[in-house]
Amino acid sequence: MATKAKPSEAKVPVLKGKEAEDKVLEYMKKMNRPFGAVDVSANLKGSVPKAAAQKILVSLSERGELVQKTCGKTTFFVANQANLEDMPTEKLAALESEYKKMDENNKQLVVETKMFSTEVNRLRSTPTDKELASEIVKVADAIEKAQAHLEPLRAGTRLVSAEETAQLDSEWTRWRNEWTRRRKIFLTFWSLVTDTLTPQQATELGGDLGIEHDTAEHGVLEKGALCSTGSVLGKRRR
């Protein structure tokens, strides 16, 4: 079953004879650009078939209406510039003035477009009323929790009991002593192992064995008030 042609696909009437020739000449003068027969036929929506367009173009060039040029194997035609109407000075001045006005108008439109684009981006990044309401609820909840946390401090309540402080002091002393003891044992052992090695060889051996020495943070901690003699967590010596 044949498919019905859509309205937009309706065929363009094919022109013939003088009507086709006038159509081609009118198009070539209007565009004032080089075209081949294929381009002319396609641009005229097939109203002048390719074969007919080629014959018409050749005929018009022989009559001096068009100029025929050959580039390699391609032949194209262009309107004879000598036959085109000269542009009066007044008309040229009017067109130049119109061009300048349109150019200024375009520049103004570009500025306005950028301004509106900036405003649109700002509006898009601005939270909506619903989003603001949600954020306000979150902030109010955070404030309420912070206030509840501050209340005992404002009332002078001790958050850590004396027993808990003593326990922390005991744990700190125990594990610091253990750290110091183990470090002393390691340094003694390491000194014996690397006694015959150069510092570079000792460093390479430590890297191969995956030995991690105390970092700069450990040194700062060891020299700080927390590790000073007689210092405890609950009562540091000043």
The pLDDT of 86-95, averaged and rounded, is: 78
What pLDDT, in 10s, does the model give residues 113-159?
999 999 999 888 888 888 889 999 999 999 999 888 888 777 777 77
Burial class (CB in 10 A: 0-12, 13-18, 19+), 179: middle
Residue 89 has pLDDT above 70, yes or no: yes
Confidence of residue 56 (pLDDT cuts 50, 70, 90): very high
Higher per-residue pLDDT: 180 or 233? 180
Bridge-partner residues for 79, per DSSP?
66
Residue 10 has pLDDT above 70, yes or no: no
Measure Cα distances from 225 to 148, 170, 181, 207, 215 in Å. Answer: 32, 17, 20, 32, 18
Confidence of residue 6 (pLDDT cuts 50, 70, 90): low
What pLDDT, in 10s, does the model give residues 203-216?
888 888 888 888 88
Encoded amino acid at 212, one letter? E
Give domain limits for the chain. Answer: 12-81, 125-158, 162-227
Residue 20 has pLDDT above 50, yes or no: yes
Encoded amino acid at 83, one letter? N
Q: Is 12-81 CATH 1.10.10.10? A: yes
- The rounded distance, in Å, linking the Cα atoms of 47 and 24 is 10
Across 2-11, 18-27, 53-62, least confident range:
2-11
Across 2-16, 51-65, 155-169, least confident range:
2-16
CB 65 within 8 A of CB 83: yes
Q: What is the pTM of this model?
A: 0.36
Confidence at residue 231, expressed as pLDDT on a 0 to 100 scale = 55
Confidence at residue 58, expressed as pLDDT on a 0 to 100 scale = 92
